[in-house]
Amino acid sequence: MRLPTHLPLFWTICLINGVVFVVAALLLVLTPARVSSDPVAAEAAVVALGLAVMLLANALLIRWAVAPLQRLITRLEDIEHLEPTHLPEEGSGPVLEMAQGVNGLLLRLANAQRAGDARALAAQEAERHRIAQELHDEVGQSLTVVLLGLKQVEGRAPADLVPELAAVRESARAGLDDVRRVARRLRPGVLDDLGLTSALAALTTDFAAHSAASVRRSFTPGLPALSPEAEVVIYRVAQEALTNAARHADAREVALSLQRLGGSVVLEVRDDGRGFEGLTEGSGLMGMRERAALVRAELSVISQPRHGTTVRLRVPVDGVAGAA
């Protein structure tokens, strides 16, 4: 049994009360039950019984009418545990409207949060970019000047100063190496200067140099152009996946590929390492998911003990419709 959908809650309750009163009145009129001006005990008992039945019927009906509302309130209370945050749109009249309203609100909140996250991440990348650039352009160049100047002075210095000057020169060199390393960690210059494929190739060479595993890379030529944001996301996810493979997987071989599939560009990092059971959201996975969400990319991580791990990122290419 369903109430008409558009009946406000107030009228629902009035209607229920009205129906109960009318039924009671009809019973009083149509049945032999009578209350005389000087009621006897038996009559009082009948009236009491009738009243009790009325109250009970009323209570049950009203409870039935507000039950969806009660359920909605319970769901609202533990909304922070719901994943994804979406209420079932059920019930009738006001309850349905309320659920729809709350869902709309949740959607707007999620959108606002994603936009906020995107802004924060973009600001972070921009800031890193700026610092890296300044390290390169300011500190790096100054140290280069020091290095070259010292070399030049060394050629004309008295012999007893030469070892000392050479030691200072080595410090300048070490400083320059540090600056370069820090700048590179902040932001891979190669991504801006030479593009995504070069940046990924550089990642894999770095990986091969610092790990026992060998690495195989394959890039489909002629990949569609991606937005700078999407490129950074792909780069960072690849970086995280390789870091995980090196740190936890104990892999012998890692394969990294970037290819086009229909209207998407797909990054895949596969290792033949230990793998793990049950995804530990800690190991950088959360970060990867957050980044993926920024460019509406799908991230999937498949891992089985002793069968390695595969990280797959599917980034939609704007303006490329369907299979090409």
Interface residue with another protein among 199, 242, 249, 317 (CB under 8 A) is: 199
CB of 226 to another protein, least distance (A): 15
Sequence-ordered strand ranges (E) for 16-68: none
Q: Which two tokens stand for residue 14?
A: 């009035």
User: For the sheet containing 309-316, what is the strand order?
Assistant: 214-219, 253-261, 264-271, 309-316, 298-303
Residue 114 in contact with another protein, rule: CB under 8 A:
no
Which one of 17, 58, 144, 310 is in contact with another protein (CB under 8 A)?
A: 144
Binding residues for another protein, total number by CB under 8 A: 39
Backbone phi and psi for residue 208, each to the nearest 5 degrees, phi listed first = -65, -35
- Which listed residue (3, 57, 208, 293) binds another protein by CB under 8 A? 208
Residue closer to another protein, measured from CB, 110 or 145: 145
Q: Which two tokens stand for residue 178?
A: 């540090």
Least separation, in Å, of the C-beta of 111 and another protein? Answer: 37
Longest dimension (CA), the chain: 134
Nearest distance in Å: CB 235, another protein: 13
The phi, psi pair for 215, rounded to 5°, reads -130, 140
**Both tokens of residue 160?**
């007893």
Shortest Cβ 166–another protein spacing (Å): 10
Of residues 91 through 110, those in contact with another protein by CB under 8 A are: none
Q: Which residues have a Cβ under 8 Å from the Cβ of 238 and sit 6 or more positions away?
A: 200, 203, 256, 267, 269
For tokens 């990280």, name the residue: 311
202, 285, 293, 320: residue in contact with another protein (rule CB under 8 A): 202
CB of 311 to another protein, least distance (A): 20
Enumerate the β-bridge partners of residue 308: none
Q: d(Cα 148, Cα 150) in Å, to the nearest integer?
A: 5
CB atoms within 10 A of CB 50: 16
CA 199 to CA 143: how far, in whole Å?
26
Contact flags string 59-88 toward another protein, x per CB under 8 A? ------------------------------
Q: Identify the residue among 189, 262, 263, 287 touching another protein (CB under 8 A).
A: 189
Site for another protein in 267-296 (CB under 8 A): none
Return the number of the residue (169 or 236) whose C-beta is nearest another protein: 169
Report the residue number, 102 or 176, with the smaller CB distance to another protein: 176
Distance CA 300, CA 246 (A): 19
Q: Which of 24, 54, 201, 293 binds another protein (CB under 8 A)?
A: 201
Among 75, 128, 180, 260, binds another protein (CB under 8 A): 180
Query: According to CB under 8 A, which one of 5, 214, 227, 300 is a site residue for another protein?
Result: 214
> How far is the C-alpha of 148 from the C-alpha of 236, rounded, in Å?
36
Q: Which residues contact 318 (CB under 8 A, 6 or more apart)?
A: 227
- The residue ranges that bind another protein (CB under 8 A) are 136-137, 140-142, 144-145, 147-152, 155, 169, 173, 176-177, 180, 184, 189-190, 193-194, 197-199, 201-202, 205, 208-209, 214-219, 221
